[in-house]
Amino acid sequence: MKSLSRLLIVVASAATLACPSAPKRVVYDLAGRIAVADRWSPRDVLLFGTPAAEPHQVEGFYREAAPPKGDSFLWSKGEAEISLTWPTAEPRVGVVDLAPYRGVKGQSAEVLLNGARVGHVTLNDLRYRYRIALPAEAQREGDNRLRFVFAATASPADDPANPDRRQLAAAFYSLVVAPARDEGLEDLLARDAPHPFSVMETGSAPALVEIGPAVVRYAVRLPPGAELRFSPDLHPSARAAGAAASFRVTVETRPGEEREAWSRVLGPRDAAPGELSVALPGGAGDIVRVGLHVGGTAAGERHAWGLWTAPRILGRVRGDDGAAGAPASLDGPPPPAEERARARPLRQATAGMNVLFIILDAARASELHAYGYARPTTPEIDRLAAEGVLFERAYTPAVYTLAAMSSVWTSQYPERHHDAASFSEPLPRGRLTLAQLLSAQGIQTAGFVANPIAGGLNGLDRGFTEFHEVWREIGSGGDSFRQVVPAWLRANKERRFFAYVHFREPHFPYDPPPPFATRFGPDAPLTKEQRRDAAFFTDVNQGRRSISDAEREHLVRLYDGSLAFADQEIGGIRKALQAEGLLERTVIIVAADHGEGLMEHGWIGHNVQLYEPLTRVPLIVRFPSGKGPASRRVAAFASLLDLAPTIADLFGVMGRGGSDREFQGRSLLDVMAGGPGRAAVLSRTVWDRPRYALRDERYKFIDDTRTGDEQLYDLRADPDERRNLTSTDPLRTAYYREALQHWTLGLARPAAAGAAGRVFTRAQCEDLKSLGYLGPDVKCPEN
């Protein structure tokens, strides 16, 4: 599978990469994208484990980090509730696809609709579909709640070797609901009936299954020479039932203008037509929506079950940029040898150096003077930036400390490092941390934290040789480090070390000490009690109290004062390094775990929003004089996930201890040496069902997995994110929706997942090459 950066390079620069004589390769594997495609059916169809189902999952479901092989599903707790919206009350029938958790024998469930009991289901030992009558008298117009109350649960932790302590009742695969008069719904209860919007293997190629009438639409950015290839056929069970189905391909090049590009009707005696090709209208880089329609015929719609074998979009793209499938991660594959060679002089120059890593808590990049802020908030950090490298577009993977710092230490997205655990729980054991990697190589590792969230309470001290919770031992103010850090540097100056200092500032409470409270203006009108009172800001955020322009301006001054206070203390640490002769033997990295909202979008704080002030963070790397780049600004995107690989690279231990397999980020030394960086970054909020934001060179897309609400911003024309384009640019919205959802579903997959990591027979390999899934340069096994 290819990376986000590789994919976006393809779609953004396709015209420059294209070569008329280049062979066409798969750019979009449509069967592999069914989970995020726009699916339509006259019936209510929920595919659990896909993003479209999440707003319907009221409670009682565990959000799986890594999609399982085969059809997607979700584990339920002892009770699970689903939301369904119906315009009127009428007799309906539901078909639910369930499997009991393997640890529960004789599982059963009571089924309630809006609190009224409507059925009882006794589950088979394996996956099976069950019919549930939904009487009109139990329904209501608008929102309806379907609840399953299971008889028993079991935990994977019943196996002593498994740390997963969830209580599981059953796996939910799908739910299909239709009016009771829909005879086709009853057909789905047959043992050989296909599953809705599923994928089945047909030889070496996947086949998309549609239960008509239905449409699957894909929003794609066209590669050069774009064409759709597929092999249409009836599902074997449809042929056995003597049914026919109509097949259509449509292309929407402008919103609302869906035009037919191909169509055909297949009857039970018709031979499958073989592979077909449809040229897609539009130029390279255009966003279009391709629709695959299956419907009935004049004879009726029952058993109108169609297959699209190997549906894919091909184009003329270069090298591995045209590889099939979805990215397994957002960081990309390891850089090629020539890129690594470019950074070799930098690696050699920094060999034997120490690393001091400083985190400012809740520091937004836009408030640092080095990032263009008018106020002189950060003269010491500005000095480091002038002597080193400033990343103009560094982003956090999560806008809250627990997940952000877990991602820093593990170089993994939250969906991987927390996996089945709740995102509010400590970092699960078994995740390789940077400190563990360094300590195992004999490097002295020490942590000093002023924020309790960043400490042992959440497992973030794991692997450090020594860890000082300064907030507990001395205090949480930035000046507390004066009592421990200089002495530690003095005691360890003869050893090679990694030191981590985590400031609380400029995080709430917004109450800097004198003279910083008045550094940028009068200390009013917010009182000292208000600025220290979390309830005050909660009332503002919840709309129970308004905040005046004067109060908001004072809030910003206080925040800036806190940042200036921390900057002063960073200057003190620099002096301590210099006093011990360590300044020119130590690489200094300054970053933030996340940013902060200061009422730009009606919110003070972080956790819940994904606008630029909360996701964009400072990242500055200062090398000893003459040992690395200086006075350089890097415009490429970077993520906090890249810090652990970068630091491991500086210590010469990257790849050891399994870090090459575990880390999802990549070393920034290659970028600082002139190599390409990321083409996009991903961030998320708190909660198990979070908001996600995908940000690329021009656009940012935000998706709320709980409600389905979406936002799209053109940051080039609207840097303050004020004009939501979802209603005026639906094709682009659909494209970014699919891209974000496709990538977030793959965050927890191992990097080797996908066609490139699988082992094929020679026949399978040759088939995949002929279809464009594997490049012509791939060598197939001899037998």
Q: What pLDDT is stored for residue 751 in this prediction? A: 40
Q: Is the pLDDT at 34 greater than 60, yes or no?
A: yes
Q: What is the mean pLDDT of residues 590-614?
A: 97
Of 280, 279, 295, which Cα lies nearest the Cα of 219?
280
The token duo for 415 is: 């969906």
Among 674, 665, 677, smallest CA distance to 637 is for: 677
pLDDT of residue 777: 60
Residues facing residue 700 across a β-bridge: 695, 713
Tens digits of residue pLDDT in 244-284: 999 999 999 999 999 999 999 999 999 999 999 999 999 99
What 3-state class would DSSP assign to 346?
helix
Angle at 325 between CA 322 and CA 331, to 5 degrees: 80
What is d(CA 510, CA 599) in angstroms, rounded to the nearest whole number?
A: 14
Query: What pLDDT is stored for residue 91 in this prediction?
Result: 98
Q: Work out the burial of residue 537: count CB atoms within 10 Å of its CB; fewer than 13 is exposed, 13-18 middle, 19 or more buried.
A: buried
Residue 455 contacts residue 470 (beta carbons within 8 Å): no
pLDDT at site 272? 94
Q: pTM for this one?
A: 0.90
CB 21 within 8 A of CB 697: no
User: What is d(CA 135, CA 318) in angstroms, rounded to the nearest whole number?
Assistant: 57
User: 25 pLDDT band (50/70/90 cuts)?
Assistant: very high
> Where does the pLDDT of residue 342 fall: very low under 50, low under 70, confident under 90, or very high at 90 and above?
confident
Give the pLDDT confidence score for residue 401 in this predicted structure.
96
379-421: pLDDT as tens digits: 999 999 999 999 999 999 999 999 999 999 999 999 888 876 6
Secondary structure of 37-103 in HEC code, one letter for each residue? CEEECCCEEEECCCHHHHHHEEEEEECCCCCCCCCCCEEEEEEEEEEEEECCCCCEEEEEEEEECCC
User: In angstroms, rounded to a whole number, what is the distance separating the alpha carbons of residues 600 and 728?
Assistant: 23
What backbone torsions phi and psi does residue 53 show, to the nearest 5 degrees? -85, -20
> What is the spatial distance between Cα 315 and Cα 224, in angstroms, rounded to a whole number?
5
Residue 442 phi, psi dihedral angles, 5° rounding? 85, 10
Nearest CA to 96 out of 42, 177, 214 is that of 177
Beta bridge partners of 234: 306
% pLDDT > 70, the chain: 88
Lowest mean pLDDT among 88-97, 163-172, 741-750: 741-750
**Quick one: how far is CA 632 from the chain centroid?**
30
Tell me the C-alpha distance between 355 and 357, whole Å.
6
pLDDT of residue 180: 96
pLDDT, tens digit (0-9, with 9 covering 90-100), for 130-174: 999 999 999 999 999 999 999 999 988 766 666 677 899 999 999
Instruction: Assign 3-class secondary structure to 613-642.
Output: HHHEECEEEECCCCCCCCCEEEEEEEEHHH
Nearest of 441, 448, 457 to residue 352 by alpha carbon: 441
Would you state the pLDDT for residue 203?
78
Which distant-in-sequence residues (6+ apart) come within 8 Å of 297 by Cβ? 244, 245, 246, 265, 267, 304
Bridging pattern class, strands 92-100 and 214-221? unpaired
Is pLDDT above 80 for 20?
Answer: no
Vertex 576 angle, CA 570 and 582, to 5° = 110
Per DSSP bridges, beta strands 699-704 and 691-696 are: antiparallel
Dist CA 690 CA 610 (whole Å): 11
CA distance linking residue 405 with residue 397, whole number of Å? 9
* Mean pLDDT computed over every residue of the chain: 90
Lowest mean pLDDT among 259-273, 479-493, 638-652, 768-782: 768-782
pLDDT band at residue 321 under the 50/70/90 scheme: very low
Cβ–Cβ < 8 Å for 703, 692: yes
Measured CA to CA, the distance from residue 314 to residue 664 in angstroms comes to 28
Cα–Cα distances in angstroms (integers) from residue 325 to residues 3, 7, 756, in the given order: 10, 10, 10
**Tokens 């905040």 belong to which residue?**
547
Per-residue pLDDT, 334: 58
Determine if the peptide bond prior to 213 is cis (ω within 30°). Answer: yes
Tell whether the model's pLDDT for residue 762 goes beyond 70.
no
Which has the closest alpha carbon to 111: 154, 153, 167, 150? 150
pLDDT digits (tens, 9 = 90+) for 1-15: 333 333 332 333 333
Q: Which residues contact 602 (CB under 8 A, 6 or more apart)?
A: 541
Which is more confidently placed, 63 or 141? Answer: 141
d(CA 377, CA 721): 24
pLDDT score recorded for residue 7: 32
CA–centroid distance for 336 within its chain: 25
Cβ-contact 587, 356 below 8 angstroms: yes
pLDDT above 90 (res 689): no
Candidates 302, 319, 329, 231; CA nearest to 273 is 231
The contacts found for 577-583 with CB under 8 angstroms, 24 or more apart, are: 577/356, 577/489, 579/486, 580/486, 580/489, 580/490, 580/493, 581/493, 582/354, 582/489, 582/493, 583/624
> Angle at the Cα of 457 (from 569 to 638), degrees rounded to 5?
60
Query: Rounded to whole angstroms, what are the CA distances from 249 to 196, 300, 730?
Result: 19, 20, 20
Residues 199, 208: contact at Cβ < 8 Å?
A: yes
Instruction: Tell me the Cα Rg of the chain.
Output: 28
Q: What is the pLDDT of residue 166?
A: 85
Within a 10 A sphere around the Cβ of 177, how many other Cβ atoms? 22
DSSP string over 688-752: SS-EEEEEESSEEEEEETTT--EEEEETTT-TT-----TTT-HHHHHHHHHHHHHHHHTTTS-TT
Judged by average pLDDT, the poorest of 1-15, 84-98, 104-118 is: 1-15
Which of the four pLDDT bands, split at 50, 70 and 90, describes residue 659?
confident
Q: Identify which of 673, 682, 594 has the alpha carbon closest to the alpha carbon of residue 638.
A: 682
The answer, yes or no, to whether residue 42 has pLDDT greater than 70, is yes
The neighbour count for residue 298, using CB atoms within 10 Å, is 7
**What percent of the chain lies above the pLDDT cut of 90?**
79
Please tell me what DSSP assigns to residue 656.
Answer: G
Q: Is 580 helix (H, G, I), strand (E, B) or coil?
A: coil
452 has a pLDDT exceeding 80:
yes
Under 8 Å between Cβ of 446 and 464: yes
Inter-residue contact 622 to 356 (CB < 8 Å)? no
For the ranges 222-231, 249-258, 714-723, 750-759, the lowest mean pLDDT is seen at 750-759
Cα gap 459→444, rounded to integer Å: 19
**Residue 62: strand pairing partners:** 75
**Confidence band (pLDDT; 50, 70, 90) for 687?**
confident
Q: Which of 660, 666, 629, 631 minimizes the C-alpha distance to 647?
A: 666
DSSP secondary structure letters along 263-304: EEEE-TTSPP---EEEEPPS-TT-EEEEEEEEE-BTTBSTT-
